[in-house]
Homo-oligomer: A and B are copies of this chain.
Amino acid sequence: MISRHDCGARDLDDPLAPLRQQFDLPQGVIYLDGNSLGARPKAALARAQHVITAEWGTDLIRSWNTAGWFDLPKRLGDRLAPLLGAQTGEVVITDTTSVNLFKALAAALQMQASDPAHAGRRVIVSERSNFPTDLYMAQGLAAWLDRGYQLRLVDSPEELAQAIDTDCTVAMLTHVNYRTGYQHDMAAISSHCHAQGALALWDLAHSAGAVPLDLNGAGADLAVGCTYKYLNGGPGSPAFIWVPEKHQARFRQPLSGWWGHATPFAMDPGFAPADGIARALCGTQPIVSLALVECGLEIFAQTSMEAIRRKSLALTDLFIALVEQRCASHPLGLVTPREHARRGSQVSFTHPHGYAVMQALIARGVIGDYREPAIMRFGFTPLYTSFADVWDAVEILRDILDTLAYDIAAKRDAVT
């Protein structure tokens, strides 16, 4: 049996433990929702103060050059690139994940449509369990293009290989499922896509900063993701889009705004896309929110995704083991894969009263979240979650479940 003492000992041995000091975590809270909104890097406050007082307040319009605002989407993209297995000049931080997905899917459909071998394909493959906004954006794009594109949604990862066939033009998949924490094999699926003549477009919302990624090594074609979850960029911080060098010359997207123009200050009335990744940009970005993304990335620069992954698996393994040991009498169902290679950095359990249990957890300072149907979701962020946190969270969960079971039994006794 694992003890709290064992957990404390693991914290003492944890090379990532000192990084927790770089985050502002509220007293009395065990925060297991970094997969929804990452915690605040302490540095974000001073950074915002600087951007607001010195860059905006004092230097005003000159900051587009002197503070590097104009280069910010690319400069931050280059800082993020190593975490994705991307090269310098392949990533920009801009717009929202939804908008970037629209650009990437539109570009992928266009690349296929301009290739005589694949021009007739009209099937976009995804999962019914994909994050809904991804499906909404694909529906919106397909309806507006009005060229017969249709979504083919599978109900389980096992059906993907068959669904991605020679009718499929693009497979649009979220690498780690937001609800279950299931992680796809990006290299195997991308490779299968290519064998069938399809392109592989990946949403990394629950992967970036959570699991090691090797976009170029895996042969992925395009990717998007968000910076406000595991990357700790701040609430709603701008998202990213990855266009690999191999596809940049062919990458065209309909949101052709000034920031993606080849000569944005020539004020030419005709659009001509910039060379390289800048063509994925569109309009003026929210500089304060964008600048704060760097504070999260600076913490990642002090460690490696391999070290983060080791601790992530240790935390999620520990959570599963403790829940199964200490809450064994309760009707919990593990949703997240036990297999390491198929697991992201979260653990989800079902419980018939999942919503009420999660509300009780939050009231006692253990912040996870709830997703239909009956799923309690717990995110583990190795940069600021300790092994003792895991113990304490499970203790509170056990206490809540024991009380709930007692109350249900008492109610049943009162009725009978």
Contact = CB atoms under 8 A, between A and B. Distances in A.
A114 interface: no
A90 interface: no
A350 interface: no
Given A61-B369, A288-B289, A283 B132 contact: no
Which of A24, A99, A226, A283 has its CB near the most chain B CB atoms (within 10 A)?
A: A283
Interface stretch (A140-148, A156-164, A388-396): A140-148
Copies held by the complex: 2
Given A26-B57, A44-B52, A290-B236, A270 B139 contact: yes
Contacts of A153: 269
Contacts of A136: 256-258, 261, 271
A49 B45 contact: yes
A37 interface: yes
Given A61-B36, A136-B257, A143-B254, A286 B282 contact: no
Which of A37, A145, A153 has its CB near the most chain B CB atoms (within 10 A)?
A: A37
A65 to B, nearest CB: 11
Contacts of A257: 96, 98-99, 133, 136-137, 140
Contacts of A290: 236, 286, 289
Q: Is the interface of A mostly helix, strand, loop or mixed?
A: mixed
A346 interface: no
A7 interface: no
A308 interface: no
A346 to B, nearest CB: 14
Contacts of A285: 96, 236
B269 A137 contact: no
B99 A283 contact: yes
Nearest to A127: B269
A182 B269 CA distance: 18
A287 B53 contact: no
Contact of A255 (B31, B63, B140, B289): B140
A284 B60 contact: no
Contacts of A49: 45, 48-49
A269 B137 CA distance: 11
A268 interface: yes
Interface in A252-307: 253-258, 261, 266-271, 282-290, 292
Contacts of A269: 128, 130, 132, 135, 153
Interface in A45-62: 45, 48-49, 51-53, 55-62
A255 B139 CA distance: 9
B135 A271 contact: yes
Contacts of A238: 286
Contact of A283 (B96, B253, B287): B96
B37 A60 contact: yes
Contacts of A141: 254
Contacts of A372: 266-267
A39 interface: yes
Contacts of A244: none
Contacts of A226: 284
Nearest to A23: B57
A258 B140 contact: no
Interface of A: 24, 26, 29, 31, 33, 36-37, 39-40, 44-45, 48-49, 51-53, 55-63, 69, 95-99, 102, 106, 128, 130, 132-133, 135-137, 139-141, 143-147, 153, 226, 228, 234-239, 253-258, 261, 266-271, 282-290, 292, 362, 367, 369, 371-372
- CB-based closest 4 A-B pairs: A96-B283, A286-B289, A98-B283, A140-B256
